[in-house]
Amino acid sequence: MAQTRLQGIPNATAFSHLIDRAADERDQAARQLANVSLLRDDSRNKLEMLDGYRRDYLQRMRDGMERVDGPGALATFGAFVAKLEAAIKQQTEDYAFREQAVARARAIVLEAERRLRSLETYVARKEAAVALKAQRQEARNNDEYAQRIALNRMAAAAADQA
């Protein structure tokens, strides 16, 4: 924020620092949102991969069920599917956690953006008030100058008549 933009506003330096800090906090929150979004996307991709493994494995087992020789193969199949289901459950929980983290990070970004906009709006209103005050002062000065000129002309005209 340019210091000259805040001229005429009391505590302009403090407002400048507040706005800069709010912008930095917003930017940091946005970077954090991007990071947790990437982690969430990675978690979703892993979940989709595990789900794909499960579908493929189940399909291969259905296709080759007549070739299964004995209870050992079925037990191995059952154990593998159980491990795959456990991995999917764990990844589903991780994905849900990551989704919540994204929602929290998004809320933080929105709050930081709201704070920044609030400060900028306050400064804009103060700037408008300072500009209006300056315009009114200039109008008063012009009116006073015009009055003095008129009085001087009237005094000169009266002196000429006397």
pLDDT in tens, 48-60: 999 999 999 888 8
Q: Is residue 40 classed exposed, middle or buried when 0-12, 13-18 and 19+ CB atoms within 10 A define those classes?
A: buried
Digit-coded pLDDT (tens) for 60-85: 888 776 666 667 777 788 888 899 99
Residue 160, pLDDT score: 81
Distance between CA atoms of residues 14 and 6, nearest Å: 10
Mean per-residue pLDDT for 3-8?
56
Q: Which domains does the chain have, with CATH numbers?
A: 12-119 (1.10.287.1700)
Per the prediction, the chain carries an average pLDDT of: 88
**Residue 2 pLDDT level (bands cut at 50, 70, 90):** very low
User: Cβ-count burial of 115 within 10 angstroms (0-12 exposed, 13-18 middle, 19+ buried)?
Assistant: middle
Report the C-alpha gap between 31 and 29 in whole angstroms.
Answer: 5
What would the DSSP string read from start to end of 86-150?
Answer: HHHHHHHHHHHHHHHHHHHHHHHHHHHHHHHHHHHHHHHHHHHHHHHHHHHHHHHHHHHHHHHHH
CA 97 to chain centre: 21
Under the banding of pLDDT at 50, 70 and 90, the label for residue 8 is low
Question: What is the C-alpha separation between 37 and 104, in angstroms, rounded?
Answer: 11
